[in-house]
Amino acid sequence: MESNLEVWKTAHQLTLAVYKVTQNFPKSEQFGLTSQVRRSASSVPTNIIEGQARQYKKEFVQFLYISKGSLEETNYHLFLSKELGYISEDDYKMLAELCTRIKMMLYKLITTNNEQRTTNNEQRTTNNEQRATNTFEYDK
């Protein structure tokens, strides 16, 4: 399974990196922070791919927003992990920069899809108005 979206590829790389750095977390965190950061990180590309499989752009955008929320959750878990001394400052910076890149990519993709939906809705409205005008002219 793979997506052609760059944001998905980058989010997948984040997930792999999170799994790698969490291997060194304390065993006492196995069902706590380790599990939570892994789930939130893997939720980012999962929601992107699920949204992409949906029929309507509106649904796709909704899944992108969910992905964005999971990304923020992951970002906080990584910050907490650094504060607790579970990951190094360097690892945190690298992962935080990756989160920032994904966040910008998601923003752009959401904005683009919302603009396309607005344009399509405006075109539909114009077409409906033209049809109504044409019908009215025939009634004369």
pLDDT tens digits along 22-65: 999 999 999 999 999 999 999 999 999 999 999 899 999 999 99
**How many whole angstroms separate alpha carbon 99 and alpha carbon 63?**
17
What is the rounded CA–CA span in Å between residue 46 and residue 4? 14
Residue 38 φ/ψ, nearest 5 degrees: -65, -45
- Please tell me the least confidently modeled range out of 24-28, 66-70, 134-138: 134-138
- Domain layout of the chain by residue ranges: 6-131
Give the pLDDT of residue 124.
59
pTM: 0.81
CA–CA dist 82, 77 (Å, integer): 9
Q: Please report which confidence band the pLDDT of residue 4 belongs to, taking 50, 70 and 90 as the band edges.
A: confident
Q: Which amino acid is at 125?
A: T
How many residues would you count in the chain? 140
What does the radius of gyration of the chain's CA atoms come to, in whole angstroms?
21
Instruction: Please determine, looking at this structure, whether the domain spanning 6-131 carries the CATH number 3.50.30.50.
Output: no
